[in-house]
Amino acid sequence: MILICRKKNNVPESLKSGFVSLVGRPNVGKSTLLNHLIGEKVAIVSKRPQTTRSCLRGILSDPDRGQVIFVDTPGIHKPKHLMAKSIIEQAMHVLQEVDWHLFVVDATEAPGPGDRFIADVLANKAPQTFLLVNKVDKLPKGQKEQFLKAYTDLGHFRKVFQISAKHSEGLDEVMTALFKELPVGPALYPEDEYTDQTERVMVAELIREQVFRRTGNEIPHATSVYIEQYKQRTADLTYISAVIVVERDTQKRIVIGKQGQKLKEIGEAARLTISSFLGTQIYLELFVKVMPHWRNERKKLMELGYEVERNAEKG
């Protein structure tokens, strides 16, 4: 849930601040866009859809223009279990609270039911919505206008931008337009912060990113990661003990791999990314735990740190 509060006392008219959602169906490039807008790794990225499982905040501070708090929502899709249902509900709630919306679509594919559903949700917010047609760098020139028209026909959006989040193309134009539209207001976070996620949460996400990248199609969506121990042993050494949760014994064997090779690969790659993120040497221990049906049981989801409404139902 996002709680928005503002104090506008003595704020120069040139400084803006506001919350901006990044919304779209799975795998359209929202997390890549967030990382490139902020200039830091805030969200984990994978070629597989439904990588993002919570509403992540990324904070961009500009001393001359103000501060934008981007909220990267999970890809909106038809949920198949309680975890998915709860995160989609969070995403829908975000859309009611923020000041502005960036509706991200994939230029390499024709609009689908997911795009049309989101366009309908945003219909009464179209004047506060920019349509970002992403991955235009992958489109043959002859197809660009056809696909662009198909997406612009989804709604009466305030503006339409053709971008490539991966290559940061078109993002300066988006930010210039966004700062013009946001309300006058003070910075809501210190200028040196770029996310409100804790280090423990970020570390767990960086480990989960490597699970996504290094296991088969079945495994990633059935996994979660939590941190058991996180200790600063010396000024330049951090000890981390983390648990990769799966739903079945067969999945555990896949994550561990033959003679532990797959788990070793995951650990080595995660250690490097965590070390770069924290700026210290990392001693990382990984364990794999079977937690049957964790995605469909409220108590287990809460234990793993997911927000689930008390009246949420399975399925």
The dihedral region occupied by 270, where left means phi > 0, alpha psi between -120 and 50, and beta the remainder, is alpha
Q: Is residue 311 part of a domain?
A: no
Q: Is residue 203 part of a domain?
A: yes
Q: Are residues 91 and 166 both part of a single domain?
A: yes
Of 296 and 115, the one with more pLDDT = 115
* pLDDT value of position 310: 55
Q: Is residue 188 part of a domain?
A: no
For residue 265, what are the domain limits? 199-303
* pLDDT value of position 50: 43
Q: Are residues 221 and 165 both part of a single domain?
A: no
Backbone angles phi, psi at 105, to 5 degrees: -130, 165
The CATH number linked to 34 is 3.40.50.300
Residues making up the annotated binding site for GTP are 24-31, 72-76, 134-137
- Number of domains composing the chain: 2
User: Stretch 70-83: mean pLDDT, rounded?
Assistant: 74
Of 216 and 9, the one with more pLDDT = 216
* pLDDT value of position 147: 81
Residue 51: pLDDT band (50, 70, 90) is very low
Q: Are residues 142 and 51 both part of a single domain?
A: yes
Of 306 and 9, the one with more pLDDT = 306
Query: pTM surpassing 0.85?
Result: no
Residue 16: pLDDT band (50, 70, 90) is very high
Contact assessment for residue 252 and residue 208, using Cβ atoms and an 8 Å cutoff: no
The CATH number linked to 277 is 3.30.300.20
**Span of 90-94, 112-116, 119-123, 181-185 with lowest mean pLDDT:** 90-94
Spell out the long-range contacts of 38-43 with Cβ–Cβ below 8 A and sequence spacing 24 or more. 38/70, 38/194, 38/195, 39/194, 40/194, 40/195, 41/277, 42/72, 42/194, 42/195, 42/197, 43/72, 43/205
**Which of 181, 209, 238 is the last residue before a domain boundary?**
181
pLDDT digits (tens, 9 = 90+) for 144-203: 788 888 999 999 999 999 999 999 999 999 999 999 999 999 999 999 888 888 889 889
Q: Are residues 156 and 287 both part of a single domain?
A: no
pLDDT digits (tens, 9 = 90+) for 117-143: 899 989 999 899 999 999 998 887 777
* pLDDT value of position 222: 81
pLDDT digits (tens, 9 = 90+) for 199-212: 898 899 899 999 98
Q: Is residue 194 part of a domain?
A: no
**Which of 119, 149, 181 is the last residue before a domain boundary?**
181
Q: What angle do CA 65, 123, 196 make, to 5 degrees?
A: 40
Q: Are residues 205 and 276 both part of a single domain?
A: yes
pLDDT digits (tens, 9 = 90+) for 265-285: 999 999 999 999 999 999 999
